[in-house]
Chains A and B, each alone.
Chain A
Amino acid sequence: MTTLTQQKEVAPKKSIIEKLNVFTALALGVISAIVVWRISLALLPQDSESARLFSREDKITLLSMCAWFVGFMTGIGALVGPFRWLMGKDLSHSENMFLAGENMGPKRYFRYTTDHKVVGIQYLFITILIFFLGGGLAMLIRTNLGTPEGGWLHAQAYNSVVGTHGILMIVGTIIMVTGPFGNFIMPIMIGARDMAFPRLNALSFWLIVAAAVPLIWGQFIGGITTGWSAYNPLAGQAPLGMDGYIMYICIFAISTMVAGANITTTVVKMRAKGMTWNRTPIFIYGVVASVALALPAFPVFFLSQVLSAFDRALDTSFYNTAGGGSGWLYENLFWIMGHPEVYVILIPAIAALMEMAPVFTRRPLFSFNVAVLGIAGISGLSVLVWAHHMYISGWAPLLNAPFMLTTELISIPTGMLFLVLVGTLWRGRIWMTMPLMSIMALLWNFMIGGVTGIYLSDVPADAFLHGSMYVTAHFHFTLMGAGLTGAIASLVYWFPKMTGRMFDKTLSWIAFWLVQIGFNVAFIGMFLVGLAGQPRRVESYAPTFNTANLVTTIGAYIVMIGMLVLLHGVVSSALNGVKAPKNPWQAKTLEWTVDYPIPLENFDVLPTVTTDAYGYGKAKS
């Protein structure tokens, strides 16, 4: 309603959208939350005797968080466009140009800006922020685990730190490639002027900002003490901070769905003339597979958390066995999202490295078709493997064998991606750069992550390994060792296009080696304690595990130093780096054909594509 009244008052020239930015959004969000909080506090009836512990408080918390969400999104201007449509009008041309951030300078980064390049930088910023926070929490965990007796953090705080680290990093890794590079680079790479739905693009970013606040809020009302998976019924008895988790996931799920629809449509409909599917760069396949996989996965995540909220606030029994529900329902919903989700993280990172492989070996990508088949195979199979997280849940022992089959089948398309990478390296001209070495690091880390995945996919071996530190080490090897390595390489590779300056070479090498060495030290130590029988998510452990845990902690500190060097590299290179030429890597994809600063709408004349982007190498003839 505020939008309506304000809209009538302003003069026709100064439109409502020109007044809205992140500060009005924060203000409106906070005010809405406080108003709804006071109203619900006054009006909601007391719980009956039979109600569960926090039912009323849960209602108040969830309502206030919803109010924050609606207030924030209204304040940022997300509702202006839809409201105009409701009135039978649309935004004017000048308003659209304003939204695109034309001639606005740095202010556009704090607004509901639709230009994909602005959204890409915004995503980059928030990804770095998430890794900073999530990494800080990881250091708290590792510090606490440096000694066996625990207690450096209170057990409740420790559990909350573990849960928050988990969910922050999951979100951070989901957006780390498709967010910054999928938004900034992808449209230029396919020769488009912008995304198919620029306003949805802005929406997907600001939803993540809106989601972050309930998560932080949750830290102050009991924390997220359930681990990132938030299993019920544990989540049902968790403190009010759980509501923060629920809201965070619901809003983030909407963001992912919006981004998925937008990116998929853009790639399907807006590729340059002549860019047939077999001339489309492999990175584009990776991005599309990732977001398209998120499209079926995240509605399920959303639903699982809505039901969780119902159980908490409205005393329903979706996950409560005594009331006719089942915790297994939650596990199924969660992992139907959860397993495709790990490939949502992994595929674009590997695809980005496959995109870089020909550039830094000066030869064509080996077996483009196999690469596409591998990505498609992983995407297809990944929706059929979720119950391997539930081998020992007792839910359906008879299904263990079929899920073992589908899980082990994934090793075939995964192997195809290895074939493409080593095939491209073979007889290439090796250009020793940080992205090239990242491909090597990916091969190493993903090999360890993949082989340990074989043990875990095996039901009898999983009966020992499940729920131990071995699992934690395994998925860090895949998501961090492979995924994050690809994302950092992408940052260095596309940095000149995004900032106009080269990433400092020395700093990139120092960061690379510190992160990779620290990472391997940390997580090989973690495999070790897993094999020796240390469960995950414990705040103290038997003294026999101490040495390896200490090694892991030391490794984690090395990673931290490496990441700080990287952060320093980002800031110093963006401010004072060497000015980058148009095409510093002599790559052949379209994003290297535009000058920095890239004009609004990217191209004066849309390019026509006549060949794929891998025409390196000399014919023998």
Chain B
Amino acid sequence: MSNLMSPKSPQWWKKDDVKKTFILWILCTAVIGYVGVEFHVRNLVNPASETMSSIITLMRVFTWAAAPVAGLVSAISITVLTSKRHYGDNPPAEADHEIRNSPKAAAVWIVISGLLCLFALVAGLIVLQQDNEAILDSKAIQVNVTGQQWLWNFDYENGARSEDLYLPVDKPVVFHITSVDVKHSFWVVQMGIKMDANPGYTTETAVTPNKIGVFDVRCAELCGLLHAYMQTKVHVLSQADYDAWLSAHGATEAGA
């Protein structure tokens, strides 16, 4: 930020407005980073899987990475707005300089934004790689998900079928998702996974639930009249409860 000064002036860091902006920059960065993280983390759903936890971590990291940039823009804006302001119908006197550019400032700015961009990319790729590997887990249980207007059907390996989703805790699960009519989107909210259900194709996503409880499944793609009501629950059970549920429903295929 200090580079926004003219490179010619010898002691630019000693000028009042630079000092003021620098202090404001530190303050704004701290406030924006803290408020941004708190806003996201407090309002985000409670994670029910490692996938969701890593999304929350990512958003925390991205917020802090963006905070210095946002803080600098805010600091300069505050400095500018708290400097001498001119009101009235006629323009104030011309500024006492005619700085047209500062190659140094531009270079620093571009290099830093490039590095931040690279950082965000790498952080995202690491998590993405973990998510992708989960689909290939050979020990995972397989569930077929079928969307239709306006409900979900879940088919398990032993032939059971249900409209609520039942999963064992701490066991990887791979979903094979399709639709019988229009596009839907299978969103297990608290587990941080989402994948479209396309008619005629099967798409895949995977997750390992790590909390016992009841969580939400919602459709995240406008699918017609009752899109808003196309939601169901996912019941994450202990392995014993899950096995019991599965064997009780396997033969009948009656649904939950």
Contacts and interface: CB of A to CB of B under 8 A. Distances in A.
B100 interface: yes
A364 B101 CA distance: 9
Given A404-B121, A428-B80, A460-B127, A361 B54 contact: no
Contacts, number: 285
A536 B36 CA distance: 22
A362 B98 CA distance: 9
A566 to B, nearest CB: 20
A540 to B, nearest CB: 5
B27 interface: no
B194 A368 contact: no
A411 interface: yes
A225 B81 CA distance: 46
Interface string A450-491: 010011011111011011100000000000000000000000
Interface in A516-552: 527-528, 531-533, 535-542
Given A231-B222, A415-B109, A459-B124, A539 B99 contact: no
A505 to B, nearest CB: 8
Contacts of A422: 4, 72-73, 76-77
B117 A430 contact: no
**Residue among A227, A394, A411, A527 with max Cβ neighbours from chain B (10 Å):** A394
Interface stretch (A266-274, A288-296, A303-311, A613-621): A613-621
Interface in B90-141: 90-102, 105-106, 109-110, 113-114, 116-117, 120-121, 123-125, 127-128, 131-132
A366 B100 contact: yes
A533 B131 contact: no
A533 B45 contact: yes
Contacts of B224: 159, 225, 234, 237
A327 B94 contact: no
A458 B62 contact: yes
A455 B190 CA distance: 17
B196 interface: yes
A427 B120 CA distance: 32
A466 B94 CA distance: 48
A533 B189 contact: yes
A616 B98 contact: yes
A142 interface: no
A338 to B, nearest CB: 15
B85 A430 contact: yes
B19 to A, nearest CB: 14
B218 interface: yes
Interface string B187-206: 10110111110111101110
Nearest to A225: B224
A574 B141 CA distance: 69
Contact of A404 (B40, B116, B125): B125
Contacts of A528: 39, 43
Contacts of A416: 106, 109-110
A466 B186 CA distance: 11
A226 B223 CA distance: 8
B169 interface: no
Chain A interface extent, by class: 35 or more
A423 B113 CA distance: 16
B69 A427 contact: no
Interface string A308-329: 0000000000000110001110
Interface in B193-240: 193-196, 198-201, 203-205, 216, 218-229
Nearest to A391: B194
B199 A419 contact: no
A455 B81 CA distance: 30
A416 B52 CA distance: 33
A135 interface: no
Interface string B48-71: 000110110011001100100110
A409 interface: yes
B95 A394 contact: no
Contacts of B113: 411-412, 415
A19 B235 CA distance: 72
B222 A234 contact: yes
B181 interface: yes
A348 to B, nearest CB: 21
Given A400-B128, A427-B95, A461 B227 contact: no
A537 B227 contact: yes
8 contacts: A237-B181, A327-B183, A362-B95, A392-B194, A393-B203, A429-B93, A533-B218, A539-B228
Interface of A: 150, 155-156, 159, 225-227, 231, 233-234, 237, 321-322, 326-328, 359, 361-370, 392-394, 397, 400-401, 404-405, 408-409, 411-412, 415-416, 418-419, 422-423, 425-432, 440, 443-444, 447, 451, 454-455, 457-461, 463-464, 466-468, 505, 527-528, 531-533, 535-542, 584-586, 614-620
Given A234-B223, A533-B218, 10 more contacts: A155-B226, A367-B101, A393-B203, A404-B128, A415-B110, A416-B110, A426-B76, A428-B80, A451-B63, A615-B98
Interface of B: 4, 17, 36, 39-40, 43-45, 51-52, 54-55, 58-59, 62-63, 66, 69-70, 72-74, 76-77, 79-81, 83-87, 89-102, 105-106, 109-110, 113-114, 116-117, 120-121, 123-125, 127-128, 131-132, 177, 181-183, 185, 187, 189-190, 192-196, 198-201, 203-205, 216, 218-229
